[in-house]
Amino acid sequence: MESAPGDKEANFAKVEQFTERAAAAGAGLVLFPECSLSGYWFIRNLSVAQLDALAEPIPGGSSTRRLLELARKHRLTIGAGFVESAGGGVYHNSYVVALPDGTLHRHRKIHSFEHTSIRGGSELTLFALPGGFRAGLLICYDCNLIENVRLNALQGAEVLLAPHQTGGVRSKNPHLMGLIDRALWDNRHMNPEAIERELRGDKGRGWLMRWLPSRAHDNGLFLIFSNGVGVDDDEIRTGNAMILDPYGRILAETWKADDDMVVANLDRELLAEATGRKWLRARRPELYASLTVPTGLECDTRKLKFEE
């Protein structure tokens, strides 16, 4: 989904349209990208006053109430992201999952870097979905760190919800993504092959394939990856929404250079014998105490992000 910066009404209209399509397709869950309602990369350039005007409380804000109403109307679960105002000048990059029975779950991105006033969350978020699956939720950079995904699996996650805004980013690593020419996006209807080569190449799908399937496979869980696409301030997001099974196999995906939706059924019978679940049972926790000991190499995600 391509989000308009700061235009929550336009973005929510897209959420409504996609939700109607998802309900018509028989879906029980529809997952939108990180900051899909607020817009994303422009946030870093906002003043604190502008950030405050964009942010909303959870659960008291209008976006949360509207998501709950939409979930009840279509009798499915909806996840969407925006900037949260937590009070006292504290802000979070947050994601709300609204269930049709009125239940609400919120995840605050653990590894935030989008604005100097946005703080990282400090909790994992796991909950039951209608139909019996136990879900975990990690936002973008949260999913990059293997420890976060493993902790979700150890706490019983069977499905990982992974909303992102990634691909086509600046990087000092010559093998990690890189910017996409804005002209290719603007000319996508006349020359779709040119932009789709970029979306499917190392700046998009190629990069995702280096790590995303392993998160699903190594932890024996389904993974639902939603992502922004198109213009995101001065970068072009690469889309590539996909749904993976517990063996890391892609059940459905898109590389369309436009708003798009993928749909798949999750067969819970795949979970029991998934390789990653066997590996979880083979763990030797008595050897892993050093994983919790600081090495001195740790630093704030914001610093890491802008040095990549």
**pLDDT score recorded for residue 10:** 98
Query: Among 1.10.3720.10, 3.40.50.300, 3.60.110.10, 3.40.47.10, what is the CATH number of 8-305?
Result: 3.60.110.10
pLDDT over 60 at 52, yes or no: yes
Whether pLDDT at 23 is above 80: yes
Q: Where are the domains of the chain?
A: 8-305
Task: Give the global pTM.
Answer: 0.96
Is the predicted pLDDT of residue 173 greater than 80, yes or no?
A: no
pLDDT tens digits, one per residue of 249-258 = 999 999 999 9
On whether the CB atoms of residues 218 and 157 are closer than 8 A, the answer is no
| Averaged pLDDT score across all residues of the chain | 96
Q: What's the whole-number mean pLDDT along residues 232-248?
A: 98
pLDDT of residue 177: 77
pLDDT interval class at 172 (50, 70, 90): confident
Distance CA 279, CA 281 (A): 5
pLDDT score at 307: 60
Q: How confident is the model at residue 306 (pLDDT cuts 50, 70, 90)?
A: low
Q: Does the pLDDT at position 210 exceed 60? A: yes
Per cent of the chain over pLDDT 90 is 94
Q: Which amino acid is at 14?
A: K
How many CA atoms does the CB half-sphere of 218 hold within 13 Å? 13
In contact, 261 and 21? CB cutoff 8 Å: yes
At residue 122 the predicted structure's pLDDT band, cuts being 50, 70 and 90, is: very high
